[in-house]
Structure 1
Amino acid sequence: MTDFNASALQSFRNFQPVTENTMAKVDGGNVVGKGEYSGILSSIGRSKTEQAENNAVRTQLLQSLGKAFGIKGMSEEGGKVKFSSEFMNKLEQLLGPKVFKKSDFGVKGANGEVTGGHPLTGRRISAIMKQVAILGKGDFTTADYKAKLDFIKPQLEKLPEENRNQVKEHFNKVGAMLDFLENRLTDDLIEPNWDWETANEREQQSIPKWALNEPGKGQQPLVNKNPLNDMLFKEENGGMFVHLENIPRLEEIDDPKVITNYIRNEMQQFVKTSCDLWLDTADKPEIRDKFTKLLGTLSGCMEQRTTKLATFTLENNLIGGDIKQVAADHSKDMSLEKCIGREIEAWMLNHPDKSEWEDMVEDITANLKGLKRPMVKVTGDDNSGYKFEPIMEKGKPLVREITAEDVALVGKATYFEVFYGG
């Protein structure tokens, strides 16, 4: 990959949606919100103006990604920007189909323009930007990152005693994963399930098609969202889980390398983000201090930890540009639960030993009380997860001063989503 140009994506990195479903549009070169997306409203129900706005912001995203990663295949004919099939294939391969699907942009043929697709929402843009934060450091090789880890480990002994052990434990996991990438993750690790191969066509419908085959352990069938997958590679990865839930229609995959490549990519992203963040904060003591405190609070599966590290990378502009502090700064368009989420993240960086909601609610309330922000209502519970919907008044999001009662009503649900929402 060529040198990464972070400034090419600045307009999308600056996008601050009211909610995850806020749609994006281009306004004078800036990316701004234009209302909420509803899956009920198909493209048939959108006006030509709305469709043109959607195509314009999708086009700008493709151009920005192409410039950021130095991908060739963009051209302009008659005032219309076109993208080659090789360009779209490269982006999907680079970002991964879980985050970026070329079919979502309606680019047809060997060289075409954006013709349709789902509107870009805050959720989709955030997912792409987090992946960019992971990839923006260059290519991955096991040898390079083993050398980086060898350079990092002696420095860990100089950390303050209060969080030294947690940080060392994190990088021990990085080392375990590098060893697994180098010695254990082979293409024949995933193979057809013996029971599936010997079953008749009707029986195969209820039997997992693929299995994990480890020497001395036998086969372990692989099923989407099966509790067994929570233990996948747990010992080899220093106690972290690897999930297969994000591989769609696992039972329909024809090539086992698809599964192996997914696992390899997830592992590489964790290693890459961990090492690069340490090296990138070497001359930034305040950011380094916040990073080490963050490492002491990380929990969950490998994918969840990587996402939190990528978020830290973005919030501190560590993929290029000026360093900005991870402070709970609240733009006027940021909704209540987003403001609370920022406060929770800032609190945890400064108080890694106090992670309960009851520890932080008083300070968060004091920081937010009186700010005028868009209000939200909460639905859901701890089992199903929580959703935050804007409170509307006369067709517009209700904006008023935040009260202590607002923080109490929305805060606990936000806290749950920050720590357990994945």
Structure 2
Amino acid sequence: MTMWGLFLLNLLPIGILLALSRKNAVPFLTSSLLHPYFFLALILLLYNIDFLVLGAGQSATRLSEMSASIPVRDVWYAFAVFSALQAALVAGILLAGAVHVPNRAVVGGGIRAARVVGAMLVVVSVAVTFGSLALGVSFLSLDVTHQNFYRENQALWLVKSLCNPAMALYVLSSGKWRHSDFLVLAGAVAVATLGGSRSSVLFASAIAGMKFALLGWRIRQSWTLVAIPALGAILLVLRFYLREQWRYGSIVDFVAAQGGVVGTFFSTAEVSMADAFTMAYIYSDDIAVFPFQGFLFAASLLIPRSFWPGKPISPSGSFTDALSPTRWEITRSELTVTGFGDMLLEFGLVGALIACALFAFVWGYLVKKSAKAIHSVYQRFVFVALYWSVYSFVRGDMGNLGGLLWPFVLVYVIWRIAAYFIKDRVVRGSH
């Protein structure tokens, strides 16, 4: 079977996810385009397209700082393994869908506390970020400076990480649109962008879409013809100004050097999911990763390494250390191995199939359970965490997933403590 054959075969599980997104409606979402299954289908489609582009290339990896070659034959083998893992992932979601989840009423409340805590955390994040002269310096230099800056200033990293969950909590806590919602959205995007993150634009776009759905807007599928290219253009501009400006005289020169607009996404390290997985597949014996390393790293993420010097690094860190030791030694910045590559390195092929199916089963069950009682701020907040967690897993690894979930947990704890002291006013239709 050719690369195209595998690609066409992989459209079947992607199509299943699209069908599930339409079948499993979420009460407060007015369009299947905002469903987590649709989002996962879109990510997997990009992953598959990236494999096609990699297989059609000149056998050189596009991962930055790596000069190793990837024979086309090995790309096909890696694509076949990825296809099996993708099928296991979708199978886990199908199994979760077969489990009965009873409808249950969720007690509302905490709306005023959600607004207060959400706004407070975003304002603090904006003030701390823009008040840091060191961050202003890093913003004008290389991308690795952003990463090192936050590694060396963990308190600031924590403040920045709380910003997106706080923004989601604030914006989705009310069924009305206020000018402050836009200000909080813009503030969160600014904080994350100055920290070198471009995925924050995708996150903010998803939250804005959910807000419009909460207001009763009908989001039509034709809007994707405008929304996806627009988001791509924004990500391209952010990539140039945050990471590539020092190399090229203008954004036009940058795009031309990549072979055009499409090349900036699929002919460089911009997507690189297929490259990372293929390299993990080829060099799995040379990469020192032990079973459950990613889970242990994610669980212990908030423990400072000064208290636990032997704390494991993430699987992506081990991946980078093995294949790009100079980059790892100097910058400590990771080349993400993707969730599929993480599972393959930790558990081998058979174990990865089981791990992907189990992850998808748990995730799919929680999505289904959350959607059953979405008419409370709590359930919307949980729903957002589940929505974005699948991106963190597929695009990153278990370490990235932990980096996403811990801030959500901390914001939730702060919110519930605040709700004990800040009571809601009794207003008709406040939910």
Q: TM-score, normalised by structure 1?
A: 0.25
More helix by share: 2
**Greater share of residues in strand:** 1
Which of these two proteins has the greater Rg computed from alpha carbons? Answer: 1
Q: State the TM-score, normalizing by the size of structure 2.
A: 0.25
